[in-house]
Amino acid sequence: MQTTYQAKKQTLREKKLELKKRNIKTNEEALTFFSWIILSYPKMLIMQTANCFILFCAIVIAFLVNSGNPLLANDISAMKDDGSTLNTDSAVCMACKMTVIFFRSIYEQNRTRDSLIDVATFICQYFTHRESLICYSLAKQFREELLFVVEKLILQPDALCSMFLNDCSNSGMDTSAWNITLPSKWPDQKYPTYPAMREDNLRVLHITDLHLDPEYAPGSEANCSSELCCHMQSESNGSTIMQKSGYWGTLAVCDIPYRTVENMLQNIQKLGKIDYILVGGDYESHMDWTYTKEDHLKTIRNLSAVLHEYFENTPIYWTLGNHEGVPVNSFAPHYIPEKYRPQWLYDELLSLQKPRGCYTVQLYPGLRLISLNSGYCETSNFWLRINETDPDGTLSWLVMELKQAEHDGQYVHILSHIPPGDNECLESWARNYYKIIARFSKTIQAQFFGHIHVDSFTVFYENMNDDSSKPINMLYATPSVTTFKHLNPAFRIYEIEPGINYRIVNFHTYFLNLTKIGMNTTSPVWELLYSAKEEYSLNDLSPASWDLLINKIIYEKSTYNRFIRNSNRRDNFICEKKCRYNVLCNLRKGHHNMTLCNHLPFPRNPRYFKSYPSYKLLGTVDNAGKTTLTVTKQQQQQYTNIIMLLKKKLRSYILKRFLQLFLLSQN
């Protein structure tokens, strides 16, 4: 009997140990944080006994929450509406908030403003796992901006920590706080058809996300532990290089050298006349901790010079990416003091001299191009923490331009950078942008975006929260020129009607096959990856045709594999489970409402994929949109019961946790 009791006790000890080991890394970081405060500010700890007591309690709670204590542990994370998890109960988030509370006491006693920069450096290094040198450089870059914003926020822990840590706030800003004012629709608005200027289509080049890297070094380490590789300093002293970077680029966490862009333009020259060029943003490398205004201006001038060298008489239209900001993602609205605003950037790109970095230009009779600065939707743009309501009136300006185009009976193409459905775009901005597209869907004939580096598209619907409603517009995300991360460089040429309605009739995506080139230094040839109509057997490039294609991508294995290959410009790219869900979801998610992904025949939470039936929900989709699944009746029934299965597993999991609590309480 005694032996049985001892065995049970030993088992309970092992279970306790296992629970404690789950988040040992987080606990070590919390301890490091606490020790750092004691060593750095001993006098302040004595003077601020109350604050220290709160801080100590927070750390203790953080230890308990993350050590498997059954009274406080909660493995079933709070789920938000979009399926992601909140970090508000984690030690990392809690320690961050206590750091802010502690330094608020310093700030309120008129201590040095540099103490606040210590907060930023500490949070970056210990809570986001970036290198110490990078964190120091970023904190130095953001110093004035951060101090200005922090003073406006009066150091609110929720608001400040959410600037560094995703979802580290329950209160946060109300993303539904503002709504754009839209004009009522004109009754039976009829749009004219413009006579064709010529027989052949307009040919428009779109290049985006170049991320030029002047420090790219052929033969350097491509498989490094740094945030950006393919630099001479990427390799360790005396160590063997695991993966040598190529001459023209590398499928790794690397950007590209200037020569690759120049070679690309040489290849484009040979493909025939280009009527105008769209340059889609993000020209600097991903070494964002080294950004300076001088380097940015140098990059833009060099890129502009090489574009005009190869396309001397071709109109070039620019837009801004989030990496044009100095610091990165930083675009101060017009109500912020002038010294913080990127007017130097707008002045450099003459067409962007407006305060908000947006402009409109008449391309042809009946066709306007609108360049929209999406930096005002960037979630990491700290200035928007002060007020995210229509920053700088950008979307109000867009409505005004579209209303004028509608009044004049003209069509519009939109050039921008961050897709509204991307996680880096504020939902309030994305939701209002979607409303604008829906209102002016007959005026807007194309949306050209980039930012995500992969090749993708998004269908917009008449009802912005219902993807079964009528498809009304298209957004095209052109693939990146940079290889970051593990992608072959690419560019795209659109064919557009030379009049009539100025619709896109086809596009052709070209890429540089770095796998084939290897270490060869001979000038390479860029290959045609695919042409949209031919590759996907599209009748046209209307929203309805793309909506039908989405169903084929979901259910037809061959179409899905072809789409993934084209999206990543690689034959061997594997995209299953969570990756597959996200890729397919984004095809219909023009803003952050996850109900737009309810059409997908598998669960959104990756933890449930192991319970997903082993068969693939595959079949065929005819031109009328009817789907025929190639599964047995028994398999269909299995899929029908999957929700019940998930509920049972959840109940079982909860019961198991209560059982653990009971057993531990008996110890």
* DSSP code per residue over 29-64: HHHHHHHHHHHH-HHHHHHTHHHHHHHHHHHHHHHH
Structure tokens at 536: 């996907």
CA distances from 196 to 201, 447, 500, 502 (A): 9, 22, 6, 9
Using CA atoms, how far apart are residues 382 and 174, in angstroms rounded to an integer? 16
Domain span at residue 149 reads 13-162
Higher pLDDT, 83 or 241: 241
When pLDDT is cut at 50, 70 and 90, the band that residue 63 belongs to is: very low
The predicted-structure confidence for 173-219, as pLDDT tens digits, reads as follows 454 478 999 998 776 667 778 888 888 999 999 999 999 999 999 99
End-to-end CA distance of the chain: 16
The predicted-structure confidence for 76-87, as pLDDT tens digits, reads as follows 233 333 433 344
Examine the pLDDT at 241 and tell me if it is beyond 90. no
**Share of residues in the chain with pLDDT > 70 (%):** 60
Higher pLDDT, 545 or 39: 545
Number of domains in the chain: 2
- 278 in the same domain as 133: no
- 135 in the same domain as 210: no
Sign of the CA dihedral running 112, 329, 342, 444: negative
Among 549, 575, 597, the domain boundary falls at 597
Examine the pLDDT at 169 and tell me if it is beyond 60. no
Higher pLDDT, 581 or 56: 581
In a domain, 131, yes or no: yes
Amino acid identity of residue 404, one-letter, is Q
Predicted confidence at residue 166, as pLDDT, reads: 56
- 362 in the same domain as 503: yes
- 335 in the same domain as 211: yes
- 580 in the same domain as 464: yes
Predicted confidence at residue 611, as pLDDT, reads: 44
- 122 in the same domain as 209: no
CA 127 to chain centre: 20
In a domain, 656, yes or no: no
In a domain, 277, yes or no: yes
Predicted confidence at residue 66, as pLDDT, reads: 41
Higher pLDDT, 340 or 4: 340
14-23, 223-232, 249-258, 516-525 — which is least confidently predicted? 14-23
Q: Which residue from 464, 477, 332, 354 is spatially nearest to 415, judged by alpha carbons?
A: 477
In a domain, 196, yes or no: no
Q: Which residue from 399, 438, 207, 398 is spatially nearest to 316, judged by alpha carbons?
A: 207
Predicted confidence at residue 33, as pLDDT, reads: 46
Predicted confidence at residue 25, as pLDDT, reads: 44
Higher pLDDT, 353 or 104: 104
The Cβ of residue 439 has, within 10 Å, a number of other Cβ atoms equal to 19
Q: What is the mean pLDDT of residues 52-74?
A: 40
**Share of residues in the chain with pLDDT > 90 (%):** 43
The Cβ of residue 21 has, within 10 Å, a number of other Cβ atoms equal to 12
Examine the pLDDT at 12 and tell me if it is beyond 80. no
Predicted confidence at residue 234, as pLDDT, reads: 62
DSSP 666: T
Highest mean pLDDT among 131-140, 171-180, 308-317: 308-317
Examine the pLDDT at 74 and tell me if it is beyond 50. no
Higher pLDDT, 649 or 611: 649
CA 505 to chain centre: 28
- 206 in the same domain as 123: no
User: Vertex 196, ends 195 and 198: CA angle to 5°?
Assistant: 145
Among 597, 616, 637, the domain boundary falls at 597
Predicted confidence at residue 275, as pLDDT, reads: 98
Among 573, 597, 621, the domain boundary falls at 597
CATH code of the domain in which 284 resides: 3.60.21.10
289-298, 319-328, 461-470, 640-649 — which is least confidently predicted? 640-649
In a domain, 184, yes or no: no
Q: Which residues pair with 512 in a beta bridge?
A: none
In a domain, 628, yes or no: no
Examine the pLDDT at 331 and tell me if it is beyond 50. yes
**What's the predicted TM-score (pTM) here?**
0.73
| Three-class DSSP category at 534 | helix
In a domain, 654, yes or no: no
Highest mean pLDDT among 18-32, 93-107, 611-625: 93-107
Higher pLDDT, 627 or 430: 430
| Three-class DSSP category at 197 | coil
- 586 in the same domain as 456: yes
Using CA atoms, how far apart are residues 609 and 540, in angstroms rounded to an integer? 36
Higher pLDDT, 659 or 321: 321
Examine the pLDDT at 39 and tell me if it is beyond 50. no
In a domain, 454, yes or no: yes
Q: What is the mean pLDDT of residues 467-492?
A: 96
- 411 in the same domain as 278: yes
- 570 in the same domain as 458: yes
User: Vertex 113, ends 110 and 114: CA angle to 5°?
Assistant: 135
Structure tokens at 12: 């309970």
| Three-class DSSP category at 540 | coil
Examine the pLDDT at 114 and tell me if it is beyond 80. no
- 593 in the same domain as 513: yes
Q: What is the mean pLDDT of residues 334-338?
A: 66
Average confidence score pLDDT of the chain: 77
Examine the pLDDT at 147 and tell me if it is beyond 60. yes
- 211 in the same domain as 154: no
Examine the pLDDT at 427 and tell me if it is beyond 80. yes
Q: Which residue from 102, 133, 343, 90 is spatially nearest to 227, judged by alpha carbons?
A: 133
